[in-house]
Amino acid sequence: MLLLLLLLAALVAAGVVLAVVVIKWLFILALVAALCWVIVFFARRTA
């Protein structure tokens, strides 16, 4: 029983770490996409 609780605790900790990493990369991708959109928007406007 104790082994199962330790395994569950390890899985929860791994899930939290994975969630933080995924959210960080999604935030970075969103910033890159927004920057590309702004560049394209102003490039079309001046053309």
- Specify the pLDDT at position 2: 92
Report the SS3 class of residue 1. coil
Dihedral, CA atoms, 15, 21, 22, 26, nearest 10 degrees?
Answer: 160
In the chain, what are the domain boundaries?
1-47
- Tens-of-pLDDT digits for all 47 residues of the chain? 999 999 999 999 999 999 999 999 999 999 999 999 999 999 998 87
Residue 17 token pair = 């770490």
Sign of CA pseudo-dihedral 30, 31, 32, 37: positive
- Specify the pLDDT at position 6: 96
Q: What is the DSSP letter of 23?
A: H
